[in-house]
Amino acid sequence: MVEWDPYTFSILTEQRGTVRFKDIIEGLTVHEEVDEVTGLMRLIIMDSADEKKQPTVEIRGEDGKILRKYHIPRETTKTKDITGGLPRVVELFEARKPRETAVISEIDGIVKHGGVVKGMREIEIVPEEAGADSRKYSLPRGVHVNVQEGDRVQAGEPLMDGPSNPHDILSVLGEKALQGYLVNEIQEVYRLQGVNINDKHIEVMVRQMMRWVRVEDVGDTEFLVDEQVDKVRFLRENERVITDGSRPATGRPMLLGITKASLSTDSFISAASFQETTRVLTEASISGRVDHLRGLKENVTMGRLIPAGTGFEYYRQVRIEPDEPPPPAAAVSRGAGVRA
């Protein structure tokens, strides 16, 4: 019967007439503001120092008589307490599978509803390309289905309500899509609390969560099947074997929570300073690992200069020689070569 924007305060009148605004004064009871989501200018009703000024909407009849009055609600204040959204932030940073995860489509195609099998509702995605295989998905009964018969869906589109599983997004859409999803979802929690954080801080953490690769085909490299390898090391080893004319390794990107990613670092000193110190040091001792102290954290722990700026080993070994040799001491004593 009625339709309105769910993100704004709507005033529904029961009277027919002409709308007139009262006490809407720019700079006193209303001001312009840029919407962070849409980027458009909007008018915001604010508290006025003058208690007599009350922004109001009046409905007047043909004779000018006021039929109804509606007070315009002021902008609600966003809470500054972030603790309410922290469980969602922790869930994203730890790369956990959410409860009641939404099923997403793995391919592009047309939706075809099936029957109910073993208490689950079946949905089939039929690709438009001839000869391509279709995919069937089983959705729990009682959930809200987002797609209808004959709808065209794209890979990664959720078929039902609920949060998406980050690992599913990685396998279906790839690294870039997952990185954008994590940044947007984390920022959404903070935006709802009125907290502004630059994307770069979250992007640094997401980069550390996605710095690992699981080897699937070793090729002619020195890796092992299912070995968890740092992405930089993986690329360097592939460059080496390609230069030699050999076959490179293939792998799939991994998503690790920040806790597991910190414990999976190449430096056991850095990992031991974070969590599970006894286990990390015990495993490093048993396997005979060597820490080359290449990062910042392990160098600070050992009381060494950090590898940054003049702290790099390259600069510490540099010897500066003068362009001209210094004059002999005897010549300086006689005043030769020295001018005032």
Higher pLDDT, 242 or 54: 242
- Over range 161-186, report the average pLDDT: 91
Question: Domain containing 236: what range?
Answer: 211-262
Across the chain, what does the average pLDDT equal?
Answer: 81
Q: Does residue 335 lie in a domain region?
A: no
How many helices, marked H, and strands, marked E, lie in the chain? Answer: 11, 12
CATH of the domain at 306: 1.10.150.390
Q: Among 20-29, 31-40, 121-130, name the one with the lowest average pLDDT.
A: 31-40
Rounded CA-CA distance 59/77 in Å is 28
pTM listed for this prediction: 0.63
Which pLDDT band, with edges at 50, 70 and 90, does 44 fall under?
confident
The pLDDT value given to residue 323: 75
- The residues with which 80 forms a beta bridge, in sequence order, are none
Q: Does residue 328 lie in a domain region?
A: no
- Say whether both 95 and 168 belong to one domain: yes
- Say whether both 94 and 170 belong to one domain: yes
CATH of the domain at 140: 2.40.50.100
Higher pLDDT, 3 or 97: 97
Q: Nearest-CA neighbor of 37 among 187, 153, 239, 220?
A: 187
* Per-residue model confidence as pLDDT tens digits over 263-281: 778 888 988 888 888 998 9
Whether the per-residue pLDDT at 219 is higher than 50: the answer is yes
Q: Does residue 191 lie in a domain region?
A: yes
- The residues with which 110 forms a beta bridge, in sequence order, are 126, 152
Q: Nearest-CA neighbor of 109 among 159, 169, 177, 180?
A: 159
Q: Does residue 118 lie in a domain region?
A: yes
Structure tokens belonging to residue 50:
């003058």
- Say whether both 109 and 219 belong to one domain: no
CB 193: neighbour CB atoms within 10 A? 15
Rounded CA-CA distance 160/98 in Å is 14
Whether the per-residue pLDDT at 4 is higher than 80: the answer is no
- Say whether both 121 and 202 belong to one domain: no
Whether the per-residue pLDDT at 287 is higher than 60: the answer is yes
Show the CA angle centred on residue 32, arms to residues 28 and 33, nearest 5°: 130
- Give how many domains the chain has, as a whole number: 5
- Say whether both 90 and 203 belong to one domain: yes
Rounded CA-CA distance 88/182 in Å is 11
The pLDDT value given to residue 310: 77
Q: How many residues does the chain have?
A: 340
Q: Does residue 334 lie in a domain region?
A: no
- Say whether both 92 and 188 belong to one domain: yes
The pLDDT value given to residue 116: 79
Which pLDDT band, with edges at 50, 70 and 90, does 339 fall under?
very low
- Say whether both 96 and 168 belong to one domain: yes
Q: Nearest-CA neighbor of 229 among 199, 245, 250?
A: 250
